Structure 1
Amino acid sequence: MPMDSIPELELANVRTRERLTDSVSEIRRRSDVPARTRLAVAKARQRWHRDPTPLVAMGVTAATGLAAIILGARIGRSPAGHLAQPPASSAFTALLPFGARGGLDLDQTRSDRKGRKARSKAAEEALEGDPAHKLRNKQRIGIAAVQRQATKNRKKAAKRAKAAARVKG
């Protein structure tokens, strides 16, 4: 620094001033939010004009969401949307802790049974008639059979491996 000449120092001063001026103008440009917003909107319009797929997707999503909200509100206001008074006895209503129709279990009133055992019996009977429940049980039995066979095969393979290790050792 002590060896610098006067023209070099003046040149450094000028460059620093230029950098400061450039920084200030860049800050002004970035802080001009309305202009930046207008530019972003114009670019988005151009993109949507070229390929409206994202705009269409947003519109479809918004419409679906709105329809779901409206439909949910309609179902919630309808009598079928409440568990307090189910429309009829079914496998689902038999599983409710208070039975079908808010405590009046149809099977229970017919056979004059009362209590928890009667409700669980009614629930089991309702499930026995349910085709989906039958299908689940059938699937569970099939899976159990496959697992038993796999266990047997694993045990046999382990025995063979032990015997082979004994022969080698």
Structure 2
Amino acid sequence: MTLYDLGLDWSEQEREQIIEYAKEALNSYRVLKRRERMMLQAEAPDVKSPTFSDMPRSQNLSNSSEDRMIHYLAALEEAKDLRMRYKEIERSINACQGDDGVYVSLLRLKYIEGKQLYAICNQLNYGDTWLYEKGLDKALSLFAETWDFGRIPREVRNGKNAEKTRK
């Protein structure tokens, strides 16, 4: 059961803000997933044992092997963080309830699979009027209530700038 079902609706201004923040969160999904793939493509550096010779050494005091290993481990850690963030978006989409999963399907098709709205209408067997007048806004509202345990509506209600707290 959601706040929307209980009739605890938002003002028009709050609803518009909530929907905009939900769109931003959903639009970040593919970017997060692409960045995670890029971070995982980083190759582990070769760690070579030092060579000993009588040749004069460079005055460079940094250890490039160590630096490469640190960057590699940081990339793996960032990939793990990115995965957690986009998995939270997937979890929140799957938690949206109502109308036999049509809102879950709508959000998955639009934001995860990246389909165009006309293709979504055809696949869901709904008219574009329903999609533009009710479906998309309700789906985004349901997502906002489930994403990060309702963080978007809380921030909008409390008057905080969600943009600042998300970064």
Larger Rg over CA atoms: 1
Q: If the TM-score is normalised by the length of the shorter chain, which range does it land in?
A: under 0.3
* Larger RCO (CA under 8 A, 6+ residues apart): 2
TM-score, structure 2 as length reference = 0.24
TM-score, scaled to structure 1: 0.24
